[in-house]
Amino acid sequence: MKKQILIIDDDEDLSFIISDMLEGYGYEVACAKDSDEAFALLSDNTYHLILLDINLPDTTGFELCKELRQVSTVPVIFASARTSETDRITGFDIGGVIGDRLRQL
């Protein structure tokens, strides 16, 4: 059974690139562009990892992670250009980690 990863990012081009790369490594990947789409996917599927952008069109990744933590312990990696010390602490406090934005590769 393939490990499943959910990418939550409003940048659809970036999501496609990351998804394509991860699928090449044998992962099954789903993408959501906002919190509504993310929760719809989360209610119907089990994921082993979530890659979450901090800046979303309808909420922040931090708020989404707080809601997620009420019902799940799935690992969350924040993939964002926002990498300040405050953002890192906030990410850790709510149960995620901050990674440098993948588009910088």
CATH of the domain at 63: 3.40.50.2300
pLDDT score at 104:
36
Residue 15 has pLDDT above 60, yes or no: yes
pLDDT band per the 50, 70, 90 thresholds, residue 32: very high
Mean pLDDT of 39-66: 91
What is the pTM (predicted TM-score) of this model?
A: 0.80
Rounded distance between C-alpha atoms, residue 66 and residue 14, angstroms: 24
Identify the H or E element spanning 44. helix 35-44
Which range of 36-40, 78-82, 83-87 scores highest in mean pLDDT? It is 36-40
Q: Which domain holds residue 94?
A: 4-104
* Number of domains within the chain: 1
pLDDT band per the 50, 70, 90 thresholds, residue 61: confident
pLDDT score at 101:
39
Q: Is 13 exposed, middle or buried (0-12, 13-18, 19+ CB in 10 A)?
A: exposed
